[in-house]
Amino acid sequence: MLVPLPPVSDLTAHLGFWLRMVSNHVSHAFAGKLAAEGVTVAEWVMMRALYGKDPMPPSRLAEEMGMTRGAITKLADRLIGKTLIVRAADRDDGRAQTLALTPRGTGLVPRLAMLADRNDAEFFDCLMPAERTALEQLLKRLVAHGRITATPTE
């Protein structure tokens, strides 16, 4: 005789499920737009982090982007290969490096920012202004409550 299975909460019962579903989709769509410019989301985030700032050590980027230093090394290598950023030795500390946008990289950032604006509009313009605000406030509350710090890249 068959024992009935214990009831199990549905996947869709979790807010985390819906959050991830929307987030994945929005990010994936954005990745597609960036790909047309030959850039990945992680590359965009790094370039945006460098834009308008002094040359920055990789360790700082690792912290801001929530990635390991190893991953930053490789990500930087790729951007250097595309001549979008440059790596330079730190003047004072023989161990340290700094990363900075090239002119070409600097010129690209505003174009990519436009794509980000457009992507956001594409998904969130269907909400009323008050709803957008409500969503933003809720998300920021969750960030604060969960002590969430890193810039998302994945």
Out of a copy of itself, DNA, none, what residue 6 binds, judged by CB under 5 to 8 A for its kind, is a copy of itself
CB of 148 to DNA, least distance (A): 15
| Separation between Cα atoms, residue 122 and residue 33, nearest integer Å | 12
CB of 86 to a copy of itself, least distance (A): 17
Residue with tokens 């299975």: 5
CB of 96 to a copy of itself, least distance (A): 25
- Please report, as a single letter, which amino acid is at residue 107: G
Q: Which of 26, 31, 51, 87 binds DNA (CB under 7 A)?
A: 87
| Separation between Cα atoms, residue 96 and residue 88, nearest integer Å | 9
Instruction: Return the exposure string of 79-102: e unless at least 16 CB atoms fall within 10 Å of the residue's CB, then b.
Output: beeeebbeeeeeeeeeeebbbebe
Tell me which residues in 95-134 interact with DNA (CB under 7 A): 95-98
**Element of type H or E holding 40:** none
Q: Facing residues of 52 across strands? A: none
Nearer to DNA, 95 or 147 (CB): 95
Encoded one letter per residue, x for contact with DNA by CB under 7 A and - for no contact, window 1-40 reads: ---------------------------------------x
Out of a copy of itself, DNA, none, what residue 69 binds, judged by CB under 5 to 8 A for its kind, is DNA
